[in-house]
Amino acid sequence: MRWGIWCVVWGVLMSFAHNSMADDLPYDLKAQKVGDGAYVFIGSTDHFNRENGGNIVNTGFLIGETGVVVIDTGPSLKYGNEMRAAIGAITPKPVRHVIITHHHPDHFLGNLAFDDAQIWAMDETIQAINREGEGLLENMYRMVGDWMIDTTLVKPGHSINQSHMDLSGRTIQFMPLQGHTKGDLAVFDQKSGVLFTGDLAFHNRTPTTPHADIAQWMRALEQLEKHSYNVVVPGHGPVERDGRSFKQTLDYLGWLQKRLYKAAENGLEMTEVMRLDIPRRFQSLSVARAEFVRSVAYLWPSVVEETLPRLYD
């Protein structure tokens, strides 16, 4: 008897919980103006979790004469839809073009919200999405849960092969780089001087390295440092105006690279490396220990492979 009542009460409670779930998970995206017709949405600097729904990323948009250009679409359909609504509150012009900086899930899984626009990316990015997209999507469902509802994979249909394009009346410069992944696109808007770096630059947030080539990445950052800009929009962390995100990312990557090779030279094994001290200047970065451990997981096996000498009979 008791059980029966409890089952009914539980059932009713759960149905409330379920019905209100989707509406109770707003990203509350707030557009921040960073230049003439240029806006960004700044995400948290944490890991993916069920509280932030994957909103750990910076995205943006540019208002042209005839339409809107979106740079990265966030981690989910829901994020993309909210982004669209926030853009609509600022301009009635339609979103005509979307540019994807690279193939990591927080940067392109909102594509479905923009599937009536042209979605552009580097060939390397499109290939990586073809290869890993389904797995990345599945993993996002596992990590952030209900926030991902109805999100499906929408691949960029247009490949970027030119250094400049005129999109909706704005001249956009493309810098095809690599290092964070095999295809990292930096996007520069000439009118506003806003430089979207994708995940080549992190700001007050420890860089992530699952597909990284550290040496290439550092060369890419050195190139971006020389570029002109009024505002830098890093992939993660607050916007800045003096290139400090480049310096910070370079400093961390340089240290990481040296530390791993030094550890290999000293004969440390992988779990010892994961427990090494992190210099004070990086401890203030978001998720410093967790990202260092992850970087060791990704980068250490090839450091060992490269540095360990052959043995013979």
Partner 1 sequence: MPYLLVLPFLLTVLSFSAQAGNIAKDPFNSPMWEYLAEETFGENATVIVDENLKIFAPTNAESNFQVPVSVDASALGKVEEIVLMTDLNPFPIAVRFFPMQAKPYFATRVKLNEGSVIHAIAKTPDGIWHMNGTFVSAQGGGCTTGPQQTAQADWADHLLEAKGRMWQRGDSERIRVSLRHPMDTGLSGDVPVFIIEEINFKDANGLLLSRFELKEPISENPVLTLDFPKGTAPLRISGRDNNANEFDVEVGTR
CB of 55 to partner 1, least distance (A): 13
4 contributes a contact to partner 1 by CB under 8 A: no
Select 1 or 89, whichever has its Cβ closest to partner 1.
1
Select 194 or 263, whichever has its Cβ closest to partner 1.
263
CB of 245 to partner 1, least distance (A): 17
Closest C-alpha to 35, from 6, 16, 73, 62: 62
Please check whether residue 121 is in contact with residue 133, taking contact to mean a CB–CB distance below 8 angstroms: no
Angle between helices 288-307 and 244-265 (to 10 degrees): 50
Residue 7 dihedral angles phi and psi, to the nearest 5°: -60, -40
CB of 179 to partner 1, least distance (A): 14
Select 37 or 183, whichever has its Cβ closest to partner 1.
183
153 contributes a contact to partner 1 by CB under 8 A: no
Please check whether residue 241 is in contact with residue 232, taking contact to mean a CB–CB distance below 8 angstroms: yes
6 CB-near residues (< 8 Å, 6+ apart)? none
210 contributes a contact to partner 1 by CB under 8 A: yes
Residue 294 dihedral angles phi and psi, to the nearest 5°: -65, -40
x/- site string to partner 1, residues 248 to 267, per CB under 8 A?
Answer: ------------------xx
User: Where does this chain touch partner 1 (CB under 8 A) — which range of 80-88, 155-163, 249-257, 304-312?
Assistant: 304-312
Helix (H, G, I), strand (E, B) or coil at 189: strand
- In the list 271, 277, 280, 284, the residue contacting partner 1 (rule: CB under 8 A) is 271
Name residues contacting partner 1, limited to 272-301 (CB under 8 A).
272, 274-275, 287, 290-291, 293-294, 297-298, 300-301
User: Where does this chain touch partner 1 (CB under 8 A) — which range of 18-26, 151-159, 185-193, 271-279?
Assistant: 271-279
Could you give the residue ranges of the DSSP H alpha helices within 22-149?
A: 77-88, 105-108, 123-144
CB of 128 to partner 1, least distance (A): 10
Alpha carbon distance 162, 171 (integer Å): 12
x/- site string to partner 1, residues 116 to 145, per CB under 8 A?
Answer: ----------------x--xx--x--xx--
Contacts within 8 Å (CB) and 24+ apart, 13-19:
none
- In the list 41, 48, 120, 174, the residue contacting partner 1 (rule: CB under 8 A) is 48
47 contributes a contact to partner 1 by CB under 8 A: yes
Select 142 or 280, whichever has its Cβ closest to partner 1.
142
Select 84 or 104, whichever has its Cβ closest to partner 1.
104
Helix (H, G, I), strand (E, B) or coil at 73: coil
- In the list 45, 73, 178, 208, the residue contacting partner 1 (rule: CB under 8 A) is 208
211 contributes a contact to partner 1 by CB under 8 A: yes
Q: Is 265 exposed, middle or buried (0-12, 13-18, 19+ CB in 10 A)?
A: exposed
Q: How many CB atoms lie within 10 A of CB 159?
A: 14
55 CB-near residues (< 8 Å, 6+ apart)? 27, 29, 43, 44, 74, 75, 79
Interface with partner 1 (CB under 8 A): 47-48, 104-106, 132, 135-136, 139, 142-143, 208, 210-211, 266-267, 269-272, 274-275, 287, 290-291, 293-294, 297-298, 300-301, 304-305, 308-313
